[in-house]
Amino acid sequence: MAAGAEQIMYRLECGEAVKAVETLVAGKLYCGKHEEYEEIAGVITNEWRANCYSCRFARWAGLDQNTANIFANGHMSRNRGHSAQAEFAVHPAAERTADKFAKYAMPAQGKHRAKR
């Protein structure tokens, strides 16, 4: 992974979501459900994150609210007195990448398949 590059969520042509570095604006990513590479269809800009209101702690958890709650609870158990919770928010790196994607992405060229 490139220095400073964050992981964000991408939507694939097959309808699944996968995490990858924020620098991608076209190409294919591996879909674990279908066990093959799929075209990138777009960027998912809203994700769950654990956010602490007592310090700068924040951890992105993708599309899983439960993982964000685990991150928040773990942070509060290690840092007594801190107030953290899960929230659904716009990921700044994903928003930047979505803008680039809209500007530079070519239409997907490849097979199109119905959702399974």
pLDDT in tens, 47-76: 999 999 999 999 999 999 999 999 999 999
**What integer pLDDT is reported at residue 105 of this predicted model?**
59
Per-residue pLDDT of the chain (116 residues; tens, 9 = 90+): 455 678 999 999 999 999 998 877 778 999 999 999 999 999 999 999 999 999 999 999 999 999 999 999 999 999 999 999 999 999 999 999 888 888 875 554 545 444 44
Ramachandran category for residue 109: left, alpha or beta (phi over 0 → left; psi -120 to 50 → alpha): beta
- Is 97:22 a contact under the CB 8 Å cutoff? yes
The total number of residues shown for the chain amounts to 116
CB-based contacts of 31: which residues, under 8 Å, 6+ apart?
12, 14, 16, 18, 37, 38
